[in-house]
Structure 1
Amino acid sequence: MANDFFSVEELESTKFKDFDFDGKWEASFGKPEARGVWIIYGKSYNGKSSFMMQLAKYLTGFVKNKVLINSLEEGKTKSFQMNVDRSGIATVKDKVLFGNRVPMEKVFERLEKQRSPEIIMIDSLQYAKLNKKSFEELRERFRNKLWIFISQADKSGEPKGSLAEDIKFDADVKIKVVGFKAFPESRFGGGEEFIIDAERSANYYAKLQ
């Protein structure tokens, strides 16, 4: 293929589309490329879902079409509704689309259409019925999309399962959520802790002292 190899000059002249994050978002995540793979992981009741909604709301400011959140774990439930209400994401409702436990193949069909979502959040990875091969196919098939996988964590606090471990290894942005704080590792800069919920975070860490 013509693009298999490139020179220093070709690389330096390449323009990449990125997210012009600012404020606390830039401090934590830098200015990420607007495609690729991210992973958000942590144990239950630590703020993953709240952070996902805050992030989704912020990302709507950088898309022409929509951010898709496929709720595979909760689906269209009262708890999901409560999380949506708390996030205030209704203020950008025209830029958000929810999936009610939609199988991944149907998600792929949606992404093949014109004006399809540019950012896809999968909550959670453990319900997506993907394996390493299908994940690689997904990434190649939709290489210009941003995929954000929300993952459960094992007892050690690391992503649960071999696929989640592989995705963490490959991800451009890795975000560990503990006690309503997000701890990012980003290839694009940043690195500062992100407070998801100040009151709940303060209560969580106070109990550890």
Structure 2
Amino acid sequence: MEINRALSVDQILNKKFIELELPDEWAASLGEPEASGIWIIWGNPANGKSRFSMMLAKCLAQMGRVAYNSLEEGARKSFQNNVKACRMHEVKKNFIVLNREPVEALRERLSKKQAPRFVFIDSLQYTELTKKQYIALKEEFTNVLFIFISHAEGKEPKGALASFIRYDADIKIRVEGYRAFPASRMGGGEPYTIWPEAAAKYWAEIK
């Protein structure tokens, strides 16, 4: 078996990374992350997860091409409503919707020139990926930022693969009561309010 060459301390310290230049309100939540890697978003239905994901897609579309693979919902009216509500026409040059595109077709897309820099996969449970296939996808496209959207079971991502990705991800975002609660290796950490009025009502009622 071929052994990878070890890196020196100087090589590690001098290594340059491409970082996302996030607006202040996003940086407060997500910190200063790399423009590639793995993020995961999870939450129960009707808590703002889809809206938050689309808002994040709009933010990233101002920095590069975004592909939103709607595996679960597809190009249905509810998805259209989310696109309208987030005013995605403002970033339409950098935003494409993949209508239930299988992972193998997505891999082919990402292998082409001018492939998307940011890929949302909604939802993880509809990919039918194994742990081995997930690792292979991540290692094949090291210049892509994959953002997996997952079902939840209580306050945790649902399923063994979602749980594994949560631990593997650079940024983990739990959505509840129209607020996103991020945990990032790159700073940030402030909750992000998705819908102020609904969030205020939700959190007041459960106190």
TM range (shorter): over 0.9
Shift of 1:22: 3.1
**Number of residue-to-residue matches in the alignment:** 206
Instruction: Report 1:140-155 matches (<5 A).
Output: 140-154=139-153
For the residue of structure 2 that corresponds to 1:68, the secondary structure is strand
Aligned position for 2:85: 86
For 2:5 and 2:37, the matched residues in 1 are separated by 18
For 2:143 and 2:5, the matched residues in 1 are separated by 17
Aligned position for 2:196: 198
Shift of 1:203: 1.4
> Of the candidates 164, 178, 194, which is equivalent to residue 166 of structure 1?
164
Q: Deviations over 1:153-194 (max 9, x none)?
A: 01x220000000000010000000000000000010001111
Shift of 1:31: 0.9
Aligned position for 2:179: 181
For 1:98 and 1:3, the matched residues in 2 are separated by 38
Q: Deviations over 1:13-47 (max 9, x none)?
A: 11100101231111111110010000000101101
Instruction: Report 1:13-28 matches (<5 A).
Output: 13-28=14-29
Aligned position for 1:129: 128
For 1:120 and 1:4, the matched residues in 2 are separated by 30
- Of residues 199-208 and 69-78 in structure 1, the stretch that sits farther from structure 2 once superposed is 199-208
For 2:183 and 2:6, the matched residues in 1 are separated by 28
**2:60 partner letter:** L
TM-score where L is the length of structure 1: 0.96
Shift of 1:126: 0.5
Aligned position for 1:73: 72
Following TM superposition, where does structure 1 have runs of at least 4 consecutive aligned residues deviating by more than 4 angstroms?
none
For the residue of structure 1 that corresponds to 2:190, the secondary structure is coil
Gaps of 5+ in 1: none
For 2:94 and 2:168, the matched residues in 1 are separated by 28
For the residue of structure 2 that corresponds to 1:102, the secondary structure is coil
Q: Kindly, what percent of the aligned residue pairs are identical?
A: 48
Gaps of 5+ in 2: none
